[in-house]
Amino acid sequence: MKTKNVRLGKYLVLSILILPLVLVSCEDDSYDARDQMLGFYDYKIEAYIDTGEELVYIGDQPGHYDVSGIAELRKNPDYVDMIDFWDGPDFLFQGENLMENANTITFDIPLQEFWLGPIPVSIQGYDYWDVDNIPYHGAYLYGDQSIEIGFAAEIMDVGSDLVLLFTAFRQ
């Protein structure tokens, strides 16, 4: 009789110790910071020139136009630290290396190439955000559910001081 109570007590103690660990590990596996960002956003892309000291807006000059539209943020189906930006059926760009901070989710924009009609265009992230002295290309801001991203653009394989700022607000 004494042996049964000792065994039962051991199993009870073990289950009390193990159960919380199992529950905590299940909760951690299902959390995905990208879920905070998913959805539709009204966006605007503005053109600037980097003078080395400041960004000077050039979108209002002849031949330079700001672009606006509706972007959808989706999880990248292949990588858990990537998000994809779409404008309807058109893929815009992707962000990688997501890092959750106190009031933001920061990320970077890798080098991406596409054709704008017959013109080859390359974009790459531009250090636009600084969190704890670490530069990032973009950020999702929890407070107003917005996204801000800086891009360096190269047109027809010609480097320039052109910087594009992508600003988007959740619909």
Q: Do 64 and 6 belong to one domain? A: no
Domain holding 12, by residue range, is 1-31
Dihedral angle computed from the Cα positions of residues 40, 41, 47 and 52, in that order, rounded to the nearest 10 degrees = -100
Q: What is the pTM (predicted TM-score) of this model?
A: 0.76
CATH number of the CATH domain containing 84: 2.40.128
Determine the Cα–Cα distance for residues 153 and 67; give it in Å rounded to an integer: 14
User: Taking 60 as the threshold, does the pLDDT of residue 48 lie above it?
Assistant: yes
Q: Residue 57 is encoded by which pair of tokens?
A: 């807006």
Q: Do 54 and 138 belong to one domain? A: yes
List Cα–Cα distances, 13 to 6, 16, 18, 22, 24, in angstroms: 11, 5, 9, 15, 18
Q: Do 149 and 71 belong to one domain? A: yes
The residues that bridge with 111 in the sheet, in sequence order, are none
Quick one: pLDDT at residue 158? Answer: 62
Q: Do 49 and 13 belong to one domain? A: no
**Residue recorded with tokens 């360096």:** 152
* Structural domain count of the chain: 2
93-126: pLDDT as tens digits: 999 999 998 889 999 999 998 776 777 778 899 9
Q: Tell me, what DSSP letter sits at residue 31?
A: -
